[in-house]
Amino acid sequence: MDKFLIPRGLQRTSFGAFLLWLIPWTALLSLGLYAIYLCLAEGLFHTNMDNRFAFGIWIFLDLTVIALGAGAFFTGFLLYILRRKELKAVINSAVVIGLICYSGAVLVLMVDVGQPLRAWFTFWHPNTHSMLTEVTFCLTCYLIVLLIEYIPIVLKNRQLRQIPKFLVFEFELHKLMPVLAGIGTFLSFFHQGSLGGLFGVLRGRPFAFREELGIWPSTFFLFVISAAAAGPSFIMLTTWLVEKITRKNLVKPEVYKFLGKVSGIMLIAYVLLKSIDTLIWINSTSPGNGFPAFEFYATQSFGSWILFTEIVTFGLLPALVLLSSRLREQRRFLFGAGFLVCCGIMLNRFVMTIQTLALPTLPFDDFLTYSPSWEEVATFLFVVAYGMILYSVTFRYATLFPQEKELNQLNGELSMQEFARTGKTTSFWQPKFVTQLRNKFASSKL
Amino acid sequence: MLPWVYEFHWTPFHVIFLLIFFSIFVTIVATVIVAMRRTKMAEVLQKTEAIQWHSDFEDLPPSMKTCRHELSGDVKHRVCDHEFDCRSCTQHPVLSKRQTKAPMLQFEVYGFTMPPYRLYHRGHTWVQREDDGTFKVGIDDFGTRIIGKPYSIELPPVGSRLSVNGKGMLVKKPNTNIRILSPIDGEVIEHGDSEKGWYLKIKANDPEKATTHLLKGNEVPNWILREMERLQISFATSGIGVTLADGGELVPDFHRHFPKADWDSVLGQMFLEA
C-alpha cells in the first residue's frame, strides 16, 4: 500500500504489520496526552512534587535523555569536524535519536513549568547569571539545529526527492552540515555542562556542591564528558535493537567497534576525573561545608554502594571492556558494556537530581521521599511513545542506515564470490539463475 | 534581551552572553538562507540534473560502483569515485595503458544482444556512432527486457540539450516512472517513436571525447554478469524473494512473468535511480 514511499532496495514489513506495531505506541501516546492535559489544564498538583522536592522524575529523565541524545552532537563532531567517515553509517539515526531526545525533553520541560505559554519570558528577560538560562538558550538553539539536520533525511525520501527543488536543497544543506555540526558541538558542550553546573553551584546542597574550575564547578565538565561517553554507546545499542526488531543487518561490525572504542575512551577519562572529583569532595569540599561525606551515605536508600556502582560497575568495568580490542570483537561484551554505560549515565543523573534533593541539609530536615504520580510517569511515557513512532516512521520511509542496502545484498555477493572460487555455491542463497546462465555460456569464447 | 527591554543591563557578562547567543542564532539562520540561495542558483545555472545524479550515485552501495578497469581485469578491485564519468578521472588514462588489446565482443552476451560496434553506458543505454558524425542512443537489450512493454516513453524534444548522467528519457509504466540516464553530452537532433523504435540522435558537444567513459570490449560481459546478479538481488530485496531460479535467459516479456514484483523498486535499482 505504501510501497511507493519506501526507499528502493530496502525491505520493510507490510503496511498492516507496521500499523499493528504502531497501535500500542499510539495508545501510550494517548495516555500521555491525557496526563499532559491534566497537568496543564488543572495544575501541577497532579504531580507528587512540591516546593522542597522540585525536581522529580521529569527532570531526572530529562537529564538522562539529553545525555543519551548527546550521540547526535558527538557523532556529528566526529564525522564532520574530525572526518571519521565510518560514522556516516549511523549519523542519520543519531540525528533522529537526538531530535527525539531533545524535543521530548523540551516538551516535558514545558509541562514541568506549568505555564508553557509564558516560556518566552526566559528569552526576553534572561537572567544571564543563571545556569538554567544558558541551558534554555542552548537547548532551544540545538533543537533548531537538530530540526534542520533532520530535514535532509526527510527530503531524501523516495517521493520527495523526485521534486528537484527538494533534492537540490537537501544537497546544498548537506554541504553546510559541518557548520551545523560545529554549532551543535558548541551548544551541546555548554548545555550539557550547564545542566551539571547547576547542581555544582548549589551551596545549600553540600551533597552536590563542588569547587569551581575557572567560572564553572567540576560537575560542568563531568556532565559534558559523561554525555560524550554515553552518546555513542546509546547509538550502538539503539542500532543493535533496531537490527534485532527488524531482523536486518544495518551497519558493519567495524562501526559498532568504533562506537564502542570512542565510548570507552571518553568513559575512562570520565571515570578518572570523577574519581579525582569524588576524592576532593570527600576530603575537602564536603567537610569544608560542615558535612562529613559519609553522612550522605548513612541513609538506607542511598548507601555507599550507589557510589561504587556508579564509578566501578557502570564506569570502570565497561570502560575496560570497551577499551579492549579483543573484548570489543565479541558482541555480548560490546553491547553488554554499552548497556552498562547507559545505566551509568541514568544512575548519575538520578543521584544528581533525586538523591541531592532527598538528603536533609538542615538539622530539623527529614529524609525526603518521593514517588512519581501516574501523571508524571504517563507524561514521560508520552515521550517514549512519540520517540518510537517518529523513529519507526523515519526508519520505514527514509534511509537511516546507508549500509543497509549493501548489507542486504551481501549474502548474494558472497555466494557469487564463493562460486567464482570453488565453482560451487554452498551458501543458503543459491543464485541458480546466474549459475545456470554461467554454465550455459561457459563454453562460449567472449 | 535587547537594550530597550526591561532588565537589560550594560554589564560585560550580559553583553557577551547575548552577543554569543545572537551570533549563534544568526549563523543558524544564515546557514539555511545560504542553502536556499544556492538551491536557487543551482536551478538558474541548470545544475539540477548533475546534483540529482550525484545524489543517486552517492546512494549506490560500493559494490555497484565497480570501476570499469575492474570489469576488464586491469585492476583487482577499484571503486569508481567519478560518478561513472571517466573523462574527469585521472586514473583512467593510466589504467587504460595497462589494457591489452580489447578482444572483439560477441554479438550475444549471456543471451543478450549486445552488438560489438556499440558502446554501453551503466544506465543500460547504448551509443552508436553514425556515419554523419552524430551518435544514436537507445536502451540496451538488458534494459529493454526488464522494462517489458512500456506504456509510453517520453523523449526529450528535438533541440534540447542532454548531459552525461542527466535525464535522457522517461519510461512511463503504470505506477512507475523511470528516468533513463543520458550516456553522452549533446543536442538532440532527431528522435524515434513507437513505430521507428525509441532512440535519440545526438550531436555531441565534443565528438572526440564523447564516448571515452562508455563500456566496450571485454568490459561488457563482466558488467552484464554483474547486472544479472544485481537483478536477482533486486528481486530478493523487493519483497518477492529469489524467484529467478528457473535458469535459461531473460525472455523478452520477462516483465510479464512477475506481476507481483515491486517493479518500481527493481527498475529503479537497475537504472541507477535511488
**Contact status, residue B117 vs residue B136, Cβ threshold 8 Å:** no
Q: Structurally, how many domains does chain B consist of?
A: 2
CA distance A278 to A286: 10
Confidence category of residue A398, pLDDT binned at 50, 70, 90: very high
Residue A103 CB partners (closer than 8 Å, separation 6+): A143, A146
CB contact under 8 A, A164 and B221: no
Average pLDDT over residues A98-126: 91
Residue A231: its H or E element? helix A218-246
CA distance A270 to B162: 58
What is the ipTM for the molecules in this complex? 0.86
Confidence category of residue A399, pLDDT binned at 50, 70, 90: very high
- Residue A189 is assigned to a structural domain of this protein: yes
Name the grid cell of B15: 553583553
- Residue A335 is assigned to a structural domain of this protein: yes
CB contact under 8 A, A141 and B21: yes
HSE-up of B206 (CA within 13 Å, CB side)? 9
Name the grid cell of B130: 553514425
- Residue A417 is assigned to a structural domain of this protein: no
Confidence category of residue B105, pLDDT binned at 50, 70, 90: low
- Residue B253 is assigned to a structural domain of this protein: yes
Q: Kindly state whether residues B191 and B262 are assigned to the same domain.
A: yes
Q: Domain span at residue A235?
A: 3-402
* Residue A62 C-alpha from the chain's centroid: 11
**Cell match 522542597: residue?**
A52
B51 touches chain A (CB under 8 A): yes
> Looking at per-residue confidence, does A409 or A170 come out higher?
A170
Q: Kindly state whether residues B21 and B157 are assigned to the same domain.
A: no
CB contact under 8 A, A432 and B245: yes
CB contact under 8 A, B265 and A173: no
Q: Kindly state whether residues B30 and B111 are assigned to the same domain.
A: no
Tell me what pLDDT residue A359 has.
Answer: 87
Q: What is the CATH number of the domain that holds B201?
A: 2.40.50.100
Tell me what pLDDT residue A365 has.
Answer: 80
CB contact under 8 A, A8 and B264: yes
- Residue B90 is assigned to a structural domain of this protein: no
- Residue A349 is assigned to a structural domain of this protein: yes
Confidence category of residue B239, pLDDT binned at 50, 70, 90: low
Q: What is the CATH number of the domain that holds A115?
A: 1.20.1630.10
Q: Which residues of A touch B62 (CB under 8 A)?
A: 406
Mean pLDDT of the residues in chain A:
89
Which of A6, A172, A179 shows the shortest C-beta gap to B38?
A172
Instruction: Give strand pairing partners of B200.
Output: B137, B191
- Residue A426 is assigned to a structural domain of this protein: no
Task: Give yes or no for residue B194 having a pLDDT over 90.
Answer: no
Q: Kindly state whether residues B128 and B246 are assigned to the same domain.
A: yes
Tell me what pLDDT residue A430 has.
Answer: 38
Q: Which of residues 83-102 of B touch A (CB under 8 A)?
A: none
Average pLDDT over residues A330-350: 97
**Contact status, residue B218 vs residue A446, Cβ threshold 8 Å:** yes
Q: Kindly state whether residues B128 and B208 are assigned to the same domain.
A: yes
Tell me what pLDDT residue A437 has.
Answer: 54
Which of B35, B43, B221 shows the shortest C-beta gap to A446?
B221
B107 touches chain A (CB under 8 A): no
CA distance B169 to A251: 35
CA distance A420 to A29: 53
Instruction: Give strand pairing partners of B180.
Output: B169
- Please report how the helices A164-175 and A177-200 are oriented relative to each other, as an axis angle in degrees rounded to 10: 60
CA distance A397 to A404: 13
Give A410-425 pLDDT, tens digit per residue.
555 554 455 445 544 4
Give B174-189 pLDDT, tens digit per residue.
778 889 999 999 999 9
B175 touches chain A (CB under 8 A): yes
Taking CA–CA distances from A120, the nearest residue in chain B reads B1
Q: Which residues of B touch A145 (CB under 8 A)?
A: 28
Secondary structure (DSSP) of A304-353 = THHHHIIIIIIIIHHHHHHH-HHHHTSHHHHHHHHHHHHHHHHHHHHIII
Instruction: Give strand pairing partners of B171.
Output: B153, B178
Name the grid cell of A13: 514489513
Closest C-alpha to A91, from A217, A250, A273, A269: A250
Q: Domain span at residue B5?
A: 1-45
CB contact under 8 A, A403 and B111: no
- Residue B240 is assigned to a structural domain of this protein: yes
Task: Give yes or no for residue B214 having a pLDDT over 50.
Answer: yes
Q: Structurally, how many domains does chain A consist of?
A: 1
CA distance A138 to B9: 21
- Residue A164 is assigned to a structural domain of this protein: yes
> Looking at per-residue confidence, does A52 or B101 come out higher?
A52
Percent of chain B surpassing pLDDT 70: 91
- Residue B98 is assigned to a structural domain of this protein: no
CB contact under 8 A, B229 and A413: yes
Tell me what pLDDT residue A411 has.
Answer: 53
Give B107-160 pLDDT, tens digit per residue.
888 888 899 899 999 999 999 999 999 999 999 999 988 888 767 889 999 999
Number of Cβ pairs < 8 A linking chain A and chain B: 171
Average pLDDT over residues A5-21: 91
- Residue A54 is assigned to a structural domain of this protein: yes
Q: Kindly state whether residues B36 and B120 are assigned to the same domain.
A: no
Give B245-258 pLDDT, tens digit per residue.
445 566 666 777 77
- B56 CB neighbour count, 10 Å cutoff: 21
- Residue A440 is assigned to a structural domain of this protein: no
Confidence category of residue B274, pLDDT binned at 50, 70, 90: confident
Q: Sign of the C-alpha dihedral, residues A286, A291, A294, A299?
A: negative
- Residue B80 is assigned to a structural domain of this protein: no
Mean pLDDT of the residues in chain B:
86
Give A140-193 pLDDT, tens digit per residue.
999 999 999 999 999 999 899 989 999 999 999 999 999 999 999 999 999 999
CA distance A254 to A419: 26
CB contact under 8 A, B52 and A164: yes
- Residue B221 is assigned to a structural domain of this protein: yes
CA distance B51 to A171: 7
Poorest-confidence range of A315-324, A397-406, B199-208, B252-261?
B252-261
Give A199-241 pLDDT, tens digit per residue.
999 988 999 999 888 889 999 999 999 999 999 999 999 999 9
Tell me what pLDDT residue A419 has.
Answer: 46
- Residue B126 is assigned to a structural domain of this protein: yes
Residue B140 CB partners (closer than 8 Å, separation 6+): B112, B114, B118, B120, B124, B125, B126
Residue B118 CB partners (closer than 8 Å, separation 6+): B126, B127, B128, B140
| Cα separation of the two ends of chain A | 44
- Residue B33 is assigned to a structural domain of this protein: yes
What letter represents residue A426's amino acid? Answer: T
Give B26-60 pLDDT, tens digit per residue.
999 999 999 999 999 999 998 999 999 999 999 88
**Contact status, residue B50 vs residue B163, Cβ threshold 8 Å:** yes
Q: Kindly state whether residues B183 and B254 are assigned to the same domain.
A: yes
Q: Kindly state whether residues B112 and B4 are assigned to the same domain.
A: no
Give A281-310 pLDDT, tens digit per residue.
999 999 998 889 988 888 778 889 999 999
Largest CA distance in chain B: 85
Tell me what pLDDT residue A444 has.
Answer: 45
pTM equals: 0.88
Task: Give yes or no for residue B78 having a pLDDT over 80.
Answer: yes
CB contact under 8 A, B264 and A4: yes
**Contact status, residue A387 vs residue A104, Cβ threshold 8 Å:** yes
